[in-house]
Structure 1
Amino acid sequence: MKYYLIAGEASGDLHGSNLMKTLKEVDAEADFRYYGGDLMQAQGGTLVKHYADMAFMGFLEVAMNLRTILKNIKKCKEDILQNQPDVLVLIDFPGFNLKIAKFAKEQGLKVYYYISPKVWAWNQKRVLKIKRDVDKMFCILPFEVDFYHKWGMEVDYVGNPLLDAKAAFIPNQNFREENNLSGKPIIALLPGSRKQELNYILPDMLGIINSFPNHQFVIAGAPSFNNGFYQQYLNGLKVPIVFNATYDLLNIAEAALVTSGTATLETALFKVPQVVLYKGSKISIGIARMLVKIRFISLVNLIMDSKTVTELIQENCNLTTLSKELDDILKQPKRNEMLANYEILANKMGEAGASEKTARLIFRYLKSSKLFKSS
């Protein structure tokens, strides 16, 4: 069957690649065309556009890049029409994908959605559009099932794909040596995969390095950038940057500073105490504070429904507060308390297998719909 996948950021590329891997196992004739990244490209098929050219963070940034976004949407629609896939598989990235879902449904195409948009956070009436335009929804957070049910929509809960990625991880025993890391305890810096995130957050992460001389700070580089790109932020600081090795970095890290997003959950699954950061333009953050109706921004705290990790947002994300919070998670009792909560989180998350379960459901639903049409 012909699968057209759309992932618009690094996390979507990861989940999309795992999904493609299993789809190839269950469907010997699987043919892929996609918007994604390097990981999806490694699985084969045709990469139409790389996510590095698509991701914009925040209300203001989206508005400033609206012409580019609309151009990307137009080209995507044209490519879908030209290729006529058996199914469109959308992976998170709601600002773009919900528009594509509406278009594809109007064209009579099957629309499946893997990793639900966070409609439970704000503007919940968007569920009605999802109900209209999406044939099958595969959720990765347990509370989403009840949320959609309240809106009269039945969805499949498949578990969380990060568990798949972690289960498949094989540590590189020579990681320190290969990356010229010292023997000091490591603080992992996960500043995000978007330029806007790096611009707002990485300077603060780097600004506290001199306060922790007994630790080595290491940046997890986004695959869409290179070493030279990061040098503009370092200002002469000798901070190692590792690419395509975030799990190896987390595997040996003593603590981490993490931009809010999927990486907060990955860090927790590796049992690394963390401080969560989020910054944006004043206008974007102001709008978000008016619209977003949830208690927390990090996935860790949302799943736990309690403050498990500290979240430093906007004006609270400053050198003084960040330095204090990092110092706290390097010491007791805060460190042990966070690690104990991580164990509870792991039990809530369940077992690996989300990507495989989703792929098998996609293939089964497609086969059933084809059989129904032919009968």
Structure 2
Amino acid sequence: MRYYIITGEPSGDMHAANLVSELKSLDDNSIIRAWGGKRLVSEGVEISKDIKDISFMGLWSVIINIGVIKSNIEYCKKDLLAFKADALILVDYPGFNLKIAEFAKKNGIKVFYYISPKVWAWNKSRIYKIKKYVDYLLVIFPFEVEFYKDHGVEVTYVGNPLLDEIKKNNISFSYKESKPVIALLPGSRKQEVDKILPLMLSVVDDFPEYNFVIAGNKNFDKDYYTKFIRNDNVSLVYDQTYGLLKNSKYALVTSGTATLEAALFKVPQVVCYKTNWLTYIIGKLLIKINYLSLVNILLNHLVVKELIQLELTKENLRLEIDSMIKNQEDIISDYNKIINLLDKKGASKNAAKFILCN
């Protein structure tokens, strides 16, 4: 079969690459073209567009690049038809991918959506487009099955592909720790890092028995992070987030997928989030969920403390780190429940088998 895959960020590139590995093992005649990055390249996939050229982060970046985005959409449509795909596989990246799903559907190309847009959190209007233009929706969280069923959409739960990546155990960590490590994962958006990282670092002197290690994002150079650091026992590593989590005792994590990754590595955490007030108010109006972190959403109760906006202060963070340390066994017990929920013995393989059978 001829597969055309579209992803738009590094996490999607990772999951798409693991999916491609399984597709190739099951389909000797597979021919694959994709929008992706270095992980898909490592699987021998022909790349149509590199994600570094199509990833626009934040509303302002989208606005000033709107012409480029429209041009990319038109290029993708032409490239998809020229490739003569049997199947289109969309991986997350909903703003772009739902537009291509509509085009593919109208042109008789079978549409698979792997890793659903988070419509259960916000922008439920996308459900209509998914229902109309997506032939098969493969989801990675068990609660999404019931959510979509309530909205008249049949989905298939394949398990969570983060577990596939972690189980490969292809993890490096160059930092040599002399004390137990508290990992700092301040996120990838500058406006969030600017507000969150200084608060994370404000508690360093209160916990001298630990080393604090920042998971650096390649979007920012070393000088950017260094300007925040005022303590001796703070270090910085790049492209080693999994290695850092594997070797950490605790973590302070900006909300997002990283909260789930910390849970899968069984690292007790405090979730931190702070942004500018306009973004926060808009988010409060749009996001209709009880919790911000995936860890708490999955079990529908407070597993890890969330310090959001005004609650994220030095004093509150210090208190919650103490509480986390005290209650770490309960946290890890809940993490084990999450792992059992998400582990379907190979999400990537399950997804590949489903695609081949449909």
Larger mean CA deviation between 254-263 and 240-249 belongs to: 240-249
Shift of 1:133: 0.5
SS in 1 for 2:249: strand
The structure-2 alpha-carbon separation of the partners of 1:250 and 1:142, relative to structure 1 and needing over 3 Å to count, comes to same
Q: Where does 1:12-27 land on structure 2 (aligned, <5 Å)?
A: 12-27=12-27
Q: Does 1:219 align with 2:214?
A: yes
Match of 2:113?
113
**How far apart in 2 are the matches of 1:316 and 1:71?**
42
TM-score (norm 2): 0.90
Larger mean CA deviation between 2-11 and 197-206 belongs to: 197-206
Q: Which runs of 5+ in 1 are unaligned?
A: 366-375
Q: Where does 1:155-234 land on structure 2 (aligned, <5 Å)?
A: 155-170=155-170, 175=173, 178-179=174-175, 181-222=176-217, 224-225=218-219, 229-234=221-226
Give deviations 1:182-237, integer Å, cap 9, x for gaps.
Answer: 31111112233444543443343334333332211212233x447xx132122273
The structure-2 alpha-carbon separation of the partners of 1:133 and 1:25, relative to structure 1 and needing over 3 Å to count, comes to same
Q: Does 1:94 align with 2:89?
A: no
**How far apart in 2 are the matches of 1:217 and 1:266?**
18
**How far apart in 2 are the matches of 1:65 and 1:313?**
30
Q: Does 1:39 align with 2:39?
A: yes
Give deviations 1:300-345, integer Å, cap 9, x for gaps.
Answer: 111101111112223333333333323332x31x222212221222
Pick one of 242, 259, 263 that aligns with 1:247.
242
Match of 1:149?
149
| 1:363 partner letter | L
Q: Does 1:292 align with 2:284?
A: no
Q: Which runs of 5+ in 2 are unaligned?
A: none
Pick one of 263, 267, 278 that aligns with 1:268.
263
Shift of 1:44: 1.5
Shift of 1:28: 1.5
Match of 1:308?
303
Pick one of 324, 339, 351 that aligns with 1:358.
351
Spell out structure 1 runs of 4+ moving beyond 6 A.
Answer: none
TM-score (norm 1): 0.86
SS in 1 for 2:152: coil
**How far apart in 2 are the matches of 1:322 and 1:65?**
37
Q: Are 2:9 and 2:36, in contact at CA under 8 Å, matched by a contact in 1?
A: yes
Shift of 1:155: 1.2
Q: Does 1:343 align with 2:343?
A: no
Shift of 1:63: 4.2
Q: Are 2:197 and 2:228, in contact at CA under 8 Å, matched by a contact in 1?
A: no
Give deviations 1:146-205, integer Å, cap 9, x for gaps.
Answer: 122222221111011112112221555xx4xx43x2311111122334445434433433
Q: Percent identity between the aligned chains?
A: 46
| 2:118 partner letter | K
The structure-2 alpha-carbon separation of the partners of 1:150 and 1:25, relative to structure 1 and needing over 3 Å to count, comes to same
**How far apart in 2 are the matches of 1:341 and 1:13?**
29
**How far apart in 1 are the matches of 2:54 and 2:312?**
26
SS in 1 for 2:275: coil
| 1:285 partner letter | Y
SS in 1 for 2:330: helix
| 1:267 partner letter | A
SS in 2 for 1:240: strand
Q: Tell me the C-alpha RMSD between the 2 structures.
A: 2.4
Shift of 1:351: 3.5
**How far apart in 1 are the matches of 2:210 and 2:201?**
13
**How far apart in 2 are the matches of 1:161 and 1:127?**
23
